[in-house]
Amino acid sequence: MDERVREILGDEEAWVVGGAVRDLLLGRPVLDLDVACLEPRETARRYAQRFGGAAFPLSERHGAWRVVVDGDEQTVDFTPLPGTIEDDLATRDFTLNAIAIPVGGGEPCDPHGGRADLETRVVRAVSTSVFEDDPVRLLRAVRLEDELGFALEPATEELVRRFAPHATRSAGERILAELRRLSSAGYLRLAALGLLAELGGAVDDRLEAVDDPDFRLVAAFREGLAQLPISNELRRYASVLLRARRPDDASPRSIHRFRCATEPWALDALAFLGASELSGLVEAARLAEPPGPLVRGDELGLPPGPEIGRILALIDEERAAGTIATREEALALARALATGEKTA
């Protein structure tokens, strides 16, 4: 465990709890520490001052503080320990997350049989109220199954099914964070338990077409994804995939038009459309992309306006289709297009 935490807390009562203990016992990398102690704010500030990090409140309501040390990928959360460690562990979600190790050394505290469940690879609720207390745990149960290769204990699975209608009662940010960590198998499990439908999602064959969390979100939620607090980049990505139309044929012109509508996500768009057999043509077109345009807008002799962009786009298309290849041919095409527009 983190010797720096031990140095800061000394002989004070404090326990490392939650996922850090679980991952330590499973031999997984421990990325984040959760330390239950008597004075979270003061402890966090001492830790940050001693090791050069920044301390900030993680939850005003619960009195938790987080420290991020400069140049360190690990975060350390300090949470209140108002009663006994057993009281703290009774509020946890699953038994595998309800194990505590004394910061100063000693035997783990495991009142709910979490170590036994780790050995049998089971996700078991600490109590029958865990999903009422925090509905995002419904998704976390599936995510833990998915990430760890565990299985829900039957009574816990029954609880998940019973409380599935509560799945939308958590903040969108928390729902999205759990969804982003699911594999395609995790989404299938969400669907089987009735959780995905409650969230407005569904699964079909395209779910597994690209191994990427953003792709899975679009495949599962389609237009409904906009109801979650997604980033602008993900919003653009989803819009491209949802508006994409299969190329008319395999000609260079059709591939060019498709790329204009979908890049830089043309390959993902093909997968979403079930047209991955055209991926080689898109990749070849990318490799053959000219280093620069045949002509610039200021060389067309036209007044500024949207017409310049339209003509340049048509020049690029004809170049991709192989009908023109030189600057002179591009200028001649531009003159023809401009003349045609004026005399139409």
Count Cα neighbours of 308 within 13 Å in the Cβ-side half-sphere: 11
Three-state DSSP state, 65: strand
Distance CA 86, CA 98 (A): 9
Burial class (CB in 10 A: 0-12, 13-18, 19+), 79: buried
Q: Tokens 């059709």 label which residue?
A: 254
Instruction: Name every residue whose Cβ is closer than 8 Å to that of residue 76 and which is 6 or more positions away in sequence.
Output: 2, 5, 32, 33, 35, 44, 47, 66, 67, 69
CATH of 121-243, one of 3.60.9.10, 1.10.3090.10, 1.10.3470.10, 1.10.1530.10: 1.10.3090.10
**Residue 324 φ then ψ, to 5°:** -135, 155
Three-state DSSP state, 59: strand
Distance CA 336, CA 344 (A): 12
Instruction: Kindly compute the dihedral angle of the four CA atoms of residues 55, 59, 62, 63, in this order, to the nearest 10 degrees.
Output: 20
User: Domain extents for the chain?
Assistant: 1-117, 121-243, 244-287, 297-343
Q: What is the pLDDT of residue 1?
A: 60
Whether the CA torsion 189, 192, 197, 198 is positive or negative: it is: negative
The closest of 111, 112, 143 to 125, measured between CA atoms, is 112
Distance CA 304, CA 116 (A): 73
Distance CA 47, CA 53 (A): 8
Q: Does domain 1-117 have CATH number 3.30.460.10?
A: yes
Q: What is the pLDDT of residue 22?
A: 96
Count Cα neighbours of 22 within 13 Å in the Cβ-side half-sphere: 22
**Residue 102 φ then ψ, to 5°:** -60, 135
Asked if domains 1-117 and 121-243 share a fold, the reply is: no
The pLDDT tens digits along the chain (344 residues) read 678 899 999 888 999 999 999 999 999 988 889 999 999 999 999 999 998 888 999 876 778 999 988 777 778 999 999 899 999 999 999 999 999 999 988 899 999 999 999 999 999 999 999 999 999 999 999 999 999 999 999 999 999 999 999 999 999 999 999 999 999 999 999 999 999 999 999 999 999 999 999 999 999 999 999 999 999 999 999 999 999 999 999 999 999 999 999 999 999 999 999 999 999 999 999 999 999 999 999 998 888 899 999 999 999 999 999 999 999 999 999 999 988 754 33
Q: List, as one string, the DSSP characters of 75-94.
A: EEEEEE--S-HHHHHHTSSB
**Residue 296 φ then ψ, to 5°:** -105, 165
